[in-house]
Amino acid sequence: MSIRRLPSDLINRIAAGEVVERPASALKELVENSLDAGASNVAVKLSAGGLERVEVVDDGCGMTRDDMALSLERHATSKLPDAAIEDVVSFGFRGEALPSIASVSRFTMESRTGDSDGWKLVVDHGEKIEEGPAALPPGTRIKVEGLFDKVPARRKFLRTPRSEYTASLDVMRRLAMAAPQVGFTLDHDGRRVIEVQPQSPPERVAALLNPQLQKNGLGLDTQRGDMRMTGVVSLPTFNRGMGDQQYLFVNGRPVKDRLLVGALRGAYRDLLARDRHPIAALFLDLPTHEVDINVHPAKTEVRFRDAQGVRGLIVGGIRRALEEAGHLSANREQLAQPAAWQVEPVGTTSSPNPERPVEAAAYARPDDLAAHPGQPSVWEARAAFAAPPQARAEIAEAPPPQAAQYPLGAARGQVAATYIVAEAEDGLVIVDQHAAHERLVLERMRAAREGEEIKRQPLLIPETVEMDETDCERLEEAADELAQLGLEIERFGPGAMLVRATPAPLGQKVKAPQLLADIAAELAELGSSVTLRDRIDLVAGTMACHGSVRAGRILSVHEMNALLREMEATPHSGQCNHGRPTWVKLAHGDIEKLFGRK
Ligand code: ADP
Ligand code: MG
């Protein structure tokens, strides 16, 4: 057998398989070239998801006629690193993209520098078929048509125009977020999809992902050693059903890394339900020796030298920002636009009957809510008999004069035995009592855990709970962790657990079988992917849900105020353990609008 050199068009085609897999990856290479060329505006047009045509026009430095020819040669690049290859700051430098793309499409390139005339070059599947002068402003215009049309082996991996378009949109978003100082447009089949002017990074992120992020997002800026993280994350209450709007940029370059998913999950642990996801755009800047961006030809994967440190920076930075935002809830405009409030004429059945006597202190209990979390029964039972509508106002002893100065105001009544209505200085506050209380129980459990173990409430007669064997295994394995949380259990035969004590903050009414089942499910889902600390935190959240005041329980004004004051004093009380808001506020201005006074 003799060894032969591969013909160059074949080499290019092989490279194309690595660098350009689909229209979106060609698009990525072209736009990156435009950014490397110092463009201040990049205009992109796609037809049929890019399958028919990808066109990128920029106003960057442009190329001379000679450089254009050279740019189509393999490993020809103007971005040759003088210094170490790790220190390259441009997007490209391998000189593979243009020859690869041109070998698997019909490729038209027009370019002009500031001080030369424009030139045009047409290449059909690696073969130059046309060239000549072209009229265009300084910059570059590249058109890629029929990508992989003549390469059936590749073509069959392409999907529908719709999903190719989605991939291209994702590429555009990432690059436009990475370069907020550049203006971008994207047209798909003649429709304008993206149009952004140069703007600040947070403005750019909001413009591309969700304008409401301006009000429901938190800005980040944290430093750790020589690493820095900036960016925007959504408030826990402003979440999504998919983790698709989570972006990571390393030294200005969009990357995909699984580390992001885990770090975000850690940062929002106990603030979001497992099936809800935050929106995030994180920009990491770290010394080039800390990161290897070039592990993949398309340069979208990274390798961090200190992955734990990076994770810590992300989790810690977001945690702190959330902490500082305190009991901040989602912006009321998003949750309760006046339009969403029912305005009904007085006298309809659903408005409280003015003639119905106010059920004054009938249900009032003088004792303090905080001392009896998860208090049972009589109250719930009575609530069940109370005829609808369950709106109820209680003549409160005149609230202390400064009551209205509290951020969550003074309790004025309870609605549907589920919501507390309070009057604050600047508006009307509505609290979901179950969601709020659940949060408080969790925070109490946490506070109690700082330093020592949570108090246990021993059961007079230990309770046996039958469960399937794998669940028993999981619980038995976690018995020490659970003991720290105040739950004392032991294995009782192959298919049962014995409960000796439950966490005191959950109150007396905990139902052991449900509690154990939920914890077992939680443990199964977490697996070993999560640190012990995170595991304990998540399990504590599950427990808190079992110990909180249910919707439907009548509260006294005293209890309501105690709940409000405790919420104010508790971090993260603005959202329940599942990321739903615990309270909303209707400002005076909004009320006036409802009544047409403004
Ligand atoms: P790389 O970006 O890795 O250098 P490419 O194949 O993507 O390789 O591009 C080859 C060269 O062509 C670049 O180094 C650059 O000099 C030139 N080039 C490509 N696109 C543009 C553009 N839009 N404006 C100016 N020069 C460009
Ligand atoms: Mg390039």
pLDDT averaged over 10-residue windows placed end to end, the chain, 598 residues: 73 70 94 96 97 97 95 80 62 81 96 95 95 97 94 80 91 95 96 94 90 87 92 88 88 87 88 85 91 67 85 90 67 36 31 31 28 29 30 48 73 86 88 84 72 78 88 87 88 90 80 85 68 70 71 77 84 74 85 81
Burial of 344 per CB tally in 10 Å (0-12, 13-18, 19+): exposed
Contacts of 67 (CB under 8 A, 6+ apart): 78, 111
Residue type, 175: L
Residue (of 170, 172, 153, 165) closest to 104 by Cα position: 153
Residues 516, 53: Cα–Cα separation, whole Å: 57
Selection from 227, 431, 233 nearest residue 327 by Cα: 431
Rounded distance from Cα 432 to ligand 1 centre (Å): 57
Report yes or no: 101 and 13 within 8 Å, Cβ to Cβ: no
Report CA Rg, the chain: 31
Ligand 1 neighbour 61 (Cβ under 6 A)? yes
Match 């370069």 to its residue by tokens: 179
Per-residue buried b or exposed e for 129-167, using 16+ beta carbons within 10 Å of the residue's own CB: eeeeebebebbbbbbbbbbbbebeebeeebeebeebbeb
Expressed in angstroms and rounded, the spacing between residue 73 Cα and the centre of ligand 2 is: 12
Ligand 2 midpoint to CA 131 (Å): 22
Q: Give me ligand 2 centre to Cα 4, in Å.
A: 29
Helices (H), ranges, 423-466: 433-449
What Cα–Cα distance (Å) separates residue 353 from each residue in 261, 393, 423, 428, 467?
Answer: 51, 12, 21, 21, 49
From ligand 1's centre to the CA of 546, what distance in Å? 60
Query: Which pLDDT belongs to residue 349?
Result: 31
Q: Is 55 in the pocket of ligand 1 (CB under 6 A)?
A: no
Strand-strand pairing, 410-415 and 419-424: antiparallel
The pair of structure tokens assigned to 7 is 């013909």
* Fold adopted by 201-325: Ribosomal Protein S5; domain 2 (3.30.230)
Q: Is the CB of 79 under 6 A from ligand 1?
A: yes
**CATH 3.30.230.10 segments of the chain:** 201-325
Q: Which atom of ligand 1 is nearest to the CA of 56?
A: 23
Domain 397-598: CATH superfamily, name plus number: MutL, C-terminal domain, dimerisation subdomain (3.30.1540.20)
Do residues 369 and 562 make contact, with C-beta atoms less than 8 angstroms apart?
A: yes
Identify which ligand lies nearest to the alpha carbon of 97.
Answer: 1
Angle at 264 (CA atoms; ends 262, 269), nearest 5 degrees? 95
* DSSP character at residue 370: G
- CB 93 near ligand 1, within 6 Å: yes
CA 184 – CA 41 distance, rounded (Å): 6
Among the four given CATH numbers 3.30.565.10, 3.40.50.720, 3.40.50.1100, 2.120.10.70, the one describing domain 8-196: 3.30.565.10
Is residue 34 in contact with ligand 1, taking CB distance under 6 Å? Answer: yes
Q: What pLDDT is recorded for position 17?
A: 62
What is residue 151's predicted lDDT score, i.e. its pLDDT? 82
* Tally: H helices and E strands in the chain: 19, 23
CA-nearest residue, atom 13 of ligand 1: 77
Nearest CA to ligand 1 atom 16: 78
Q: CATH 3.30.565.10 spans which residues of the chain? A: 8-196
Helix (H, G, I), strand (E, B) or coil at 458: strand
Return d(Cα 212, Cα 483) in angstroms, integer: 43
Residue range(s) in the chain whose domain bears CATH number 3.30.1540.20: 397-598
> Is any ligand 1 atom within 6 A of the Cβ of residue 31?
no
Q: Judge if the beta carbon of residue 78 lies within 6 A of ligand 1.
A: yes
Q: Is 60's C-beta closer than 6 angstroms to any atom of ligand 1?
A: yes
**C-alpha dist (Å) from residue 501 to 32, 168, 455, 465, 483:** 61, 56, 10, 13, 9
Does the bond joining 389 to the residue before it have cis omega, within 30 degrees of 0?
A: yes
Which ligand is closest to the CA of 99, given by its number?
1
Burial class (CB in 10 A: 0-12, 13-18, 19+), 388: exposed
CA 76 to ligand 1: nearest atom: 10
Q: Which of the ligands is closest to the CA of residue 114?
A: 1
Bridge partners of 502, per DSSP, are 457
**Top mutation candidate among 33, 85, 141 for ligand 1, by most atoms within 8 Å of CB:** 33
Q: Which atom of ligand 1 is nearest the CA belonging to 93? A: 3
CA 596 to the chain's CA centroid = 37
Q: Is 64 in the pocket of ligand 1 (CB under 6 A)?
A: no
To test the ligand 1 pocket, which listed residue (11, 88, 98) has its Cβ within 8 A of the most ligand atoms?
A: 98
How far apart CA 101 and CA 17 sit, in angstroms, is 10
208's CB contacts (< 8 A; 6+ apart) are: 173, 176, 177, 194, 196
Indicate which atom in ligand 1 lies nearest the CA of residue 90. 2
CB 416 within 8 A of CB 396: no
**With contact defined as beta carbons under 8 Å apart, do 205 and 545 qualify?**
no
pLDDT at 286: 92
Which residue is listed with tokens 């004792």? Answer: 367
Do residues 430 and 584 make contact, with C-beta atoms less than 8 angstroms apart? yes
Token pair belonging to 540: 């504590």
Q: What does the chain come to in residues?
A: 598
Q: Is 165 helix (H, G, I), strand (E, B) or coil?
A: helix
Q: What is the rounded CA–CA span in Å between residue 128 and residue 111?
A: 16
Atom in ligand 1 nearest the alpha carbon of residue 97 = 6
On whether the CB atoms of residues 157 and 22 are closer than 8 A, the answer is yes
Smallest-distance ligand from the CA of 31 = 1
- The verdict on the CB of residue 29 being under 6 Å from ligand 1 is yes
Instruction: Report how far ligand 1's centroid is from the alpha carbon of 369 (Å).
Output: 68
The predicted structure's pLDDT at residue 199? 93
Q: For residue 70, which ligand has an atom nearest its CA?
A: 1
Q: Which residue from 195, 174, 192, 201 is spatially nearest to 183, judged by alpha carbons?
A: 195
- Taking alpha carbons only, the member of 107, 100, 109 closest to residue 154 is 100
Nearest CA to ligand 1 atom 17: 71
The residue whose C-alpha atom lies closest to atom 9 belonging to ligand 1 is 95
Say how many Å lie between the CA of residue 86 and the centre of ligand 2: 16
Cα 376 to middle of ligand 1, angstroms: 72
Neighbours of 274 (CB within 10 A): 12
Structure tokens at 283: 């920009």
